Amino acid sequence: MCGIVGYVGPKDCNEVLVDALSKLEYRGYDSAGIAVFSDNEIEIVKTKGKLDDLRNKLKEVGKPSGNIGIGHTRWATHGEPSDINSHPHSGSRVTIVHNGIIENYIELKEFLTAQGRTFLSETDTEVVAQLLDYRYNGDPVKTIDECMADLKGSFALGIMFKDFPDRIFAVRRESPLIVGVAKGESFIASDVPAILKYTRDYYLLEHNEIATLTVDGVSFVNEYLQPIEKELKTADWDEEAAEKGGYPHFMIKEINEQPTAIRTTIMPRIKDGLPYLEENGITPEKLKDFKNITIVACGTAMHAGMVGKYVIEDLSRVPVSVDIASEFRYRNPIISEGDLVIIISQSGETADSLAAMRLAKQKGATTLAIVNAKGSSIAREADMLIYTLAGPEISVASTKAYITQLSVMYLFAFELALAKGTVGKAEIERLISALMKMPEAVQYVIDNCEEKCKYIATKLVAAESLLYIGRGLDYALSMEGSLKLKEVSYIHSESYAAGELKHGTISLIDDGMPVIAVATQTDIIPKTISNIVEVKSRGAKVILVCTDACARELKEGIADYVVEIPHSDEMLMPITAVVPLQLLAYYTSVNRGIDPDKPKNLAKSVTVE
Ligand code: M6R
């Protein structure tokens, strides 16, 4: 999604804005631009394309010289990616950058057109710029506040008023925006990594609050224009955590960070060999009365929820339904008081997940958020919260966030089973002890399977379509494997419950079609093997991800390639088995010449519906 940055201070604004925007590239974008106060005029340079295109254009047209400005990376929503549609946009006295969607922009555009205003672009953003200009009354903060009443939707804005060349303004509703501060300088940004090079101190702008940034400092007012004091936060991520650290891509760096991410996530939540979630407001007393659980999320986070369903139901016998957030919110879901709704989200800002959580609250459910981004909207609004402590995940393809979401799902399922009395303390102690061994197990898989996955990926490069199959937990995991591959390699793939293949999908199998089978659950391995034999006899090239125990018993020729992973507790196998699937996706992407960190059409934080 779009990225906003802004700077006020002594430094060369071009450098700071473009550098900060480069830290938001992971969000996905198709054009970029900056606006800088230069000799009291606002100079805009913008272009379709990537930041390198913007850098080239800045060289070509000459950098505006100045120390105060705003910048933007655009992910097209209204109007195609083009120079004209790129941000910043202006009314004559006002220039803005914008993230999010103005739902009533057509109505506003008609109104402004009737007032004689004309528009250059197709964007909803230009409508806001013109509206601000139309309403401008000499007082920027009052003007912004008045316009907020006219705007519907979720958005964040960085704003410059020509008459006030010593400051920039920021406001947001729903879409995230932070205000960073350091000595003699201040920043706005859509996300913390953009400013880490300059400062770790920041304020979280709340809905409808307006920030004014000058060299003398930052001030805030609420929607009633009353001055407010805000709590200064300090990011616990340093700049290095948001850099590639010698790896060619963030995706492979983040795959390698998984052992640490699991350890960091689980260790503070284990006490005396048992799950300990009390610091997260989760106690056995609170848990024992929940009779229904719904897990709501999108994409990879939803796949973590699928694993959660199997584990929670197995251990505590509480029925769990898993829903895609965009479906949940529009289908009048059956949720009532006394239900628990779990929202899983890396960014904590996914528009559909946030809306689903609000709906669940409206219906009287208790909400538990499992979120990675600190202070994000979902984290702040949930009744209970467990942070996944994966650190910043920059690659669009989620890897370490997924593995930590799984880790939290296990901790929660163990705690719930204890609260419900469905599993004895000794068994939970055994499971916790197995969970504590997972960081080493994941490290072992990375160390021992990477080369093989790299090799197998060379066989997938030319594939047009793939199938992922598995049963039970392996099926839940196949969904994630398939999504990972398709998003970073652009090869069509589907995941299928292995037993369901013969009800239609097996007709897709052709000579040489790759089928990736996951078989880690001992009791159903023979069933999955039968399905592998079925696809193999129809010409499929089978890549089998299975436990070492399973591999030992495989008959010659069942699979074309086997990736063996160490056997751990069966229930925990998705944590290790996902690693080869991530590596296969990563190397297939790289072999196809794609940047896995920034797949086309995708955004890291999906803050629009
Ligand atoms: O930030 P969230 O976890 O809420 O994001 C949900 C999905 O958009 C995300 O998992 C997406 O599917 C990833 N690109 C998958 O790698």
Instruction: Give the pLDDT of residue 476.
Output: 96
Q: pLDDT of 87-141, one tens digit each?
A: 999 998 999 999 988 889 999 999 999 999 999 999 999 999 999 999 999 999 9
Q: Is 345 in the pocket of ligand 1 (CB under 6 A)?
A: yes
Residue found under tokens 């009791």: 523
* 242-353-232 Cα angle (round to 5): 50
**Higher local confidence (pLDDT), 154 or 184:** 184
Q: Which atom of ligand 1 is nearest to the CA of 300?
A: 10
Q: Is 346 in the pocket of ligand 1 (CB under 6 A)?
A: yes
C-alpha 346 – ligand 1 centre gap (Å) = 7
C-alpha 298 – ligand 1 centre gap (Å) = 6
- Residue 175 to residues 172, 190, 324, Cα–Cα distance (Å): 6, 8, 21
Can you list the alpha helix ranges (DSSP code H) found in 490-568? 525-536, 548-553
Instruction: Tell me which of 2, 449, 453, 550 is the catalytic residue.
Output: 2
Q: Give, for ligand 1, the residue of 300, 371, 586 to mutate: max count of ligand atoms closer than 8 Å to Cβ.
A: 300
Nearest CA to ligand 1 atom 4: 345
With beta carbons less than 8 A apart as the criterion, state whether 445 and 565 touch: yes
Q: pLDDT of 515-570, one tens digit each?
A: 999 999 988 888 888 889 889 988 999 999 999 888 887 788 889 999 999 999 99
Nearest CA to ligand 1 atom 9: 299
Q: How far apart are CA 592 and CA 517, in angstroms?
A: 22
Of 308, 592, 562, 348, nearest in space to 463 by CA: 592
Q: Is 395 in the pocket of ligand 1 (CB under 6 A)?
A: no
Q: How far apart are CA 513 and CA 508, in angstroms?
A: 9
The two most distant CA atoms of the chain are separated, in Å, by 81
One-letter amino acid at 45 equals V
Instruction: Give the pLDDT of residue 280.
Output: 83
593 sits in which H/E element: none
- Residue 351 to residues 101, 180, 203, 304, Cα–Cα distance (Å): 11, 24, 21, 18
**What is the pairing mode between strands 217-221 and 31-38?**
unpaired
Return phi, psi of residue 380, to 5°. Answer: -75, -30
Q: How far apart are CA 103 and CA 339, in angstroms?
A: 32
Nearest CA to ligand 1 atom 8: 299
Average pLDDT over residues 410-418: 97
Q: pLDDT of 545-560, one tens digit each?
A: 999 888 887 788 889 9
Q: Which tokens is 258 given?
A: 């998984």
C-alpha 576 – ligand 1 centre gap (Å) = 20
Average pLDDT over residues 476-486: 97
With beta carbons less than 8 A apart as the criterion, state whether 313 and 319 touch: yes
Q: Is 25 in the pocket of ligand 1 (CB under 6 A)?
A: no
Q: How far apart are CA 436 and CA 15, in angstroms?
A: 45
Can you list the alpha helix ranges (DSSP code H) found in 23-61? 51-61
C-alpha 596 – ligand 1 centre gap (Å) = 14
Q: Which tokens is 144 given?
A: 């912004």
Instruction: Give the pLDDT of residue 66.
Output: 95
**pLDDT band of 506, cuts 50, 70, 90:** confident
Start-to-end Cα distance in the chain = 11
Nearest CA to ligand 1 atom 10: 300
- Residue 274 to residues 198, 229, 285, 317, 440, Cα–Cα distance (Å): 41, 41, 16, 20, 19
With beta carbons less than 8 A apart as the criterion, state whether 4 and 156 touch: yes
Q: How far apart are CA 318 and CA 339, in angstroms?
A: 11
Of 97, 85, 79, nearest in space to 42 by CA: 97
C-alpha 600 – ligand 1 centre gap (Å) = 15
Q: Which atom of ligand 1 is nearest to the CA of 603?
A: 14
**What is the pairing mode between strands 293-297 and 320-324?**
parallel
Q: How far apart are CA 226 and CA 284, in angstroms?
A: 43
